[in-house]
């Protein structure tokens, strides 16, 4: 008996864009023929040309509101790379619009805070995420789990196992407040955030970011595959950051894993 893969089933009509709207997405401004079979979502728009440099036949979508999107060919497949900036509300808008244009496979790549035993420079793969963001509540109530796609994560695990970099797979924590929940600028705020970090560590989370739980929830509800793979770039306790040279090397490896995985998924 064939098994029904939950996330690959299109379970909406939750996305309520008309055919006309879906033909050219409102914010990213792309039309169906400008997007590929899979999407890599990045926060920082500066990552887009660096990823595009690894692809051929690169087409740039007209930039709108600072949202940079390109589609190129890698290993014979068309892949869209879209930058959302920062935070769950805009990240899910970008995913939702690309979904409306026909994309069903999504991977967020970028950076996350390292929760021990994850260390700066390690890869952290989200199997799921604690939903401390606000945006995912607009897709499903809090009891609904934010879970990464099993097929996509199986492919990613195989690529990570073949890489030389240390990696961890597990649960992320996704928070809206960078300076209120993740990175304390003042002593008092650091102390408060320190208590949250102790709790995060007690629960065994592997990393924190600002988008993953919203993207995983939105993708599940819409009926798409989604996961997150990041480089851990900030130490949760010391707030020390990765240096630029180490980040360049890690980012190049991250791009290779992401492009290889997104172009070797089963249909």
Name the residue nearer to ligand R1P (CB basis): 23 or 86: 86
Total residues found in the chain within this entry:
267
**Does 209 engage in binding with ligand R1P (CB under 6 A)?**
yes
Which one of residues 15, 17, 23, 44 is an interface residue with ligand R1P (CB under 6 A)? 44
Name the residue nearer to ligand R1P (CB basis): 36 or 87: 87
**Residue-wise DSSP of 39-74:** EEEESSTTHHHHHHTTSEEEEEPPPBTTB-EEEEEE
Which one of residues 38, 51, 52, 112 is an interface residue with ligand URA (CB under 6 A)? 112
Which one of residues 182, 222, 254, 258 is an interface residue with ligand URA (CB under 6 A)? 182
How deeply is 28 buried, as exposed, middle or buried, from its count of CB atoms within 10 A (0-12, 13-18, 19+)? Answer: buried
Which one of residues 127, 176, 178, 239 is an interface residue with ligand R1P (CB under 6 A)? 178
Partner from ligand R1P, ligand URA, none contacting 98, C-beta within 5 to 8 A by type: none
In the complex, the smallest distance separating the C-beta of residue 167 from ligand URA, rounded to whole angstroms, is 16
Q: How far from 60 is each of 170, 194, 257, CA to CA, in Å?
A: 34, 42, 22
In the complex, the smallest distance separating the C-beta of residue 248 from ligand URA, rounded to whole angstroms, is 16
Tell me whether strands 38-42 and 105-114 are parallel, antiparallel or unpaired. Answer: parallel
In the complex, the smallest distance separating the C-beta of residue 33 from ligand R1P, rounded to whole angstroms, is 27
Query: What is the CB neighbour count within 10 angstroms for residue 180?
Result: 14
How deeply is 63 buried, as exposed, middle or buried, from its count of CB atoms within 10 A (0-12, 13-18, 19+)? Answer: middle
Angle between helices 212-222 and 88-100 (to 10 degrees): 30
Within 85-144, which residues bind ligand R1P (CB under 6 A)?
86-87, 110-111
Partner from ligand URA, ligand R1P, none contacting 113, C-beta within 5 to 8 A by type: ligand URA
Helix (H, G, I), strand (E, B) or coil at 160: helix
Which one of residues 209, 214, 215, 250 is an interface residue with ligand URA (CB under 6 A)? 209
In the complex, the smallest distance separating the C-beta of residue 228 from ligand R1P, rounded to whole angstroms, is 9
Distance from C-alpha of 267 to C-alpha of 256, rounded to nearest angstrom:
20
Q: How far from 237 is each of 116, 125, 183, 197, 209, CA to CA, in Å?
A: 9, 20, 9, 8, 15
Stretch that binds ligand R1P, among 42-50, 53-61, 160-168, 248-256 (CB under 6 A): 42-50
Give the residues lining the site for ligand URA (CB under 6 A).
111-113, 182-183, 208-210, 233-234
Give the residues lining the site for ligand R1P (CB under 6 A).
42-44, 86-87, 110-111, 178, 209-211
């Amino acid at each position: 008996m064939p098994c029904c893969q939950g996330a690959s089933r299109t379970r909406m009509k939750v996305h309520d864009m008309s055919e006309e709207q879906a033909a050219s997405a409102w914010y990213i401004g792309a039309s169906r023929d400008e997007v590929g079979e899979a999407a890599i979502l990045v926060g920082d728009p500066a990552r887009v040309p660096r990823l595009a440099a690894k692809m051929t036949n690169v087409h740039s979508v007209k930039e709108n509101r600072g949202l940079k999107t390109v589609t190129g060919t890698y290993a014979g497949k068309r892949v869209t790379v879209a930058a959302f900036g920062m935070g769950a509300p805009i990240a899910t808008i970008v995913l939702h619009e690309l979904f409306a244009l026909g994309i069903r496979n999504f991977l967020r790549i970028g950076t996350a805070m390292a929760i021990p035993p994850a260390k700066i420079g390690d890869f952290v793969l989200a199997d799921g995420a604690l939903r401390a963001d606000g945006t995912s509540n607009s897709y499903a109530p809090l009891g609904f789990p934010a879970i990464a796609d099993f097929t996509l994560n199986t492919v990613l695990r195989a690529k990570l196992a073949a890489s030389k970099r240390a990696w961890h797979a597990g649960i992320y924590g996704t928070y809206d407040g960078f300076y209120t929940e993740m990175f304390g600028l003042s002593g008092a705020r650091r102390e408060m955030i320190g208590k949250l970090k102790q709790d995060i560590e007690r629960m065994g989370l592997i990393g924190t970011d600002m988008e993953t739980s919203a993207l995983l929830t939105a993708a599940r509800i819409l009926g798409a595959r989604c996961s997150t793979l990041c480089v851990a770039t900030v130490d949760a306790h010391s707030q020390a950051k990765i240096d630029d040279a180490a980040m360049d090397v890690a980012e190049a490896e991250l791009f290779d894993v992401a492009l290889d995985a997104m172009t070797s998924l089963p249909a």
